[in-house]
Amino acid sequence: MSRLKQVLEQNSQAREKRTRKKRTVMPVYDIQGKTITPEKRRRTRRMSIITILISMIVIFIYAPGVFMKDKAEDSQDYNPDITYDTAAVRSSNNVLRDNPDEDFDGDGIQNSEETSLGTDPWRIDSDQDGATDYYEVHVSDTDPLQPDELLENEQKNDDEAKGNRLGTPYKIGNVILWADDYASKAYGSVVETLNGYRFCGFSGYAQFPEEEGNYAYRVQNGIHSLLPYREEENVWEVHSGDMVEIHKEPLEKTVAFNLFGFTFYGGSNWATEILATILPDAGFITATSMMAIDADPDTKESTIIDITLPKYDPSDGSRFMMNSNTLNDLLFVQEAVTEDGNCVAVSLFNSKKGEYIGIIYGLTADGDLLVADPDTMEPSGVIKVTEKARKILDESGDMVSMEYFDYSGFGFDSLNGDRISFFAATGNSADSSLFGGTVSKKDTEAEADSNTDQSPDKSGEDSSGEENEEIDTSEASSDEDNSENIDNKSEDE
């Protein structure tokens, strides 16, 4: 019986083998007509998943930084909730109308003539082309409202007359310069700030006094980075807008890592520097190469004094006669606050918005002005100050370097033509000759003469400073061929 059962099972299995149909896989083709095997399909799926994961990681790392930067920029544009005095627009116009024979900006053109010409009575160079309104109207016979290349052409003619070239070194203040191009040589300049030097409209090479230090660092967004250095010529490469600090010893480098708000620092080596290059500076996961002093808590402190209201007559229109944007004006305010402990009244004016009056009661570590509201006697905001310098053709046709400052805050911006006036102060600063009206041309020239030992000019836009000082090449560097080398590079570029 068991034998029969075994035979039946074998026959059944044989029939099943004969009748079993071989299962086949239907072929799948891609758009090129090539067969896609199951293994290739699985491999493609894995690559897609990996690509999606990498994309999500990249977005997670880099995208937040974009929004954080936008938010930071928006916060910088924040203006306190203040009220503008629109009636000041009429008051300013009345002051201008009632003083036709005055010269508010000290450029040699009376207010009445500036009004008829359409030039700015509070700005010596209305079109900002490097030539004063007086020079364009009475010397070059050009349009003071149409920018031209008078200054650059004058620089080229002056070099040709003196046998100089583009790369011939020259000195502004105590910095020796080699310009990359004639635009830098004609319009560019350098101004000394509280912490170093700021280059304005100038790109090229600079040599700093050795007694100040042997290492030059660019400071951008609070981060120090060593300037490119040409050892053979002992010069540093600079560009327009650079803020430069000089140090006697090299600064220690570090890399700051931030992981979801937790910050830690690593030594500077090839691995950490690669990470600092790859990872963003803002976001949830960041790495930033910096100097150790940038990582240390800022030890600099703001200067703050008690808020006191200076005595002034709001109906006195003399503050509308001034545009106190010279470095002398700024120096007066800094000394009044830091040395004398006095508050200073400031007027910010826009020809359409009107005026805002504040009380300066302190300075930030960077030199910006802390302002309080005169009605509430409470802090109301900050006026950001940027020291500037540029060259200009004065009324005699001389190229001089002038120093001034730009400002922004409370919805006002000097780059838009808005004015600033320091018109009253508490304590002994109230007796300053800066208050009470315009400075005559004669007084301005006397002030410039009294500052001949200061280089560059400290009297700002209202007076002429000294001309560029041409120097011997040997003074610029110990290598007598340095001027030739830098000159050749400038011409090649």
| Average pLDDT over every residue of 157-167 | 93
Whole-angstrom Cα distance, residue 466 to residue 446? 14
| Res 488: pLDDT | 46
Percent of the chain with pLDDT over 90: 55
Q: Is 274 contained in some domain?
A: no
178's tokens: 């080699």
Between residues 463 and 210, the one the model is more confident about: 210
Specify the DSSP element, H or E, that contains 485. helix 482-492
For the segment 336-372, what is each residue's pLDDT rounded down to a tens digit?
999 999 999 999 999 999 999 999 999 998 899 999 9
Between residues 204 and 474, the one the model is more confident about: 204
Between residues 242 and 440, the one the model is more confident about: 242
Work out the pLDDT band at 430, boundaries 50, 70, 90.
low
Q: Is 374 contained in some domain?
A: yes
Work out the pLDDT band at 469, boundaries 50, 70, 90.
low
For the segment 10-46, what is each residue's pLDDT rounded down to a tens digit?
777 777 766 655 555 566 666 666 666 666 777 888 8
The amino acid present at 380, given as its one-letter code, is: S
| Res 286: pLDDT | 87
417 and 404 within one domain? yes
The residues near 476 (Cβ < 8 Å, ≥ 6 apart) are 169, 176, 178, 207, 482, 483
424 and 332 within one domain? yes
Specify the DSSP element, H or E, that contains 440. none
| Average pLDDT over every residue of 378-392 | 94
Summary mean pLDDT of the chain: 82
Domain around 340: 87-101+301-468
321 and 182 within one domain? no
Residue 1 has pLDDT above 70, yes or no: no
| Count of domains forming the chain | 2
Contact 177, 234 (CB under 8 A): no
353 and 242 within one domain? no
| Res 468: pLDDT | 60
| Res 133: pLDDT | 94
486 and 439 within one domain? no
Say whether the peptide bond before residue 456 is cis (omega within 30 degrees of 0). yes
Q: Is 50 contained in some domain?
A: no
| Average pLDDT over every residue of 120-136 | 93
318 and 397 within one domain? yes
424 and 343 within one domain? yes
Work out the pLDDT band at 143, boundaries 50, 70, 90.
very high
Q: Is 193 contained in some domain?
A: yes
For the segment 75-103, what is each residue's pLDDT rounded down to a tens digit?
444 455 788 999 999 999 999 999 999 99
340 and 232 within one domain? no
Work out the pLDDT band at 70, boundaries 50, 70, 90.
low
3-state secondary structure 31-72: CCCCECCHHHHHHHHHHHHHHHHHHHHHHHHHHHHHHHHHHH
198 and 167 within one domain? yes
Residue 107 has pLDDT above 80, yes or no: yes
Q: Is 225 contained in some domain?
A: yes
430 and 334 within one domain? yes
* Helices (H) then strands (E): counts for the chain: 13, 22
Work out the pLDDT band at 416, boundaries 50, 70, 90.
very high
367 and 241 within one domain? no
Work out the pLDDT band at 451, boundaries 50, 70, 90.
very low
Q: Is 58 contained in some domain?
A: no
The residues near 467 (Cβ < 8 Å, ≥ 6 apart) are 398, 399, 400, 401
Q: Is 256 contained in some domain?
A: no
Q: Is 480 contained in some domain?
A: yes
182 and 91 within one domain? no
Residue 493 has pLDDT above 70, yes or no: no
| Res 405: pLDDT | 95
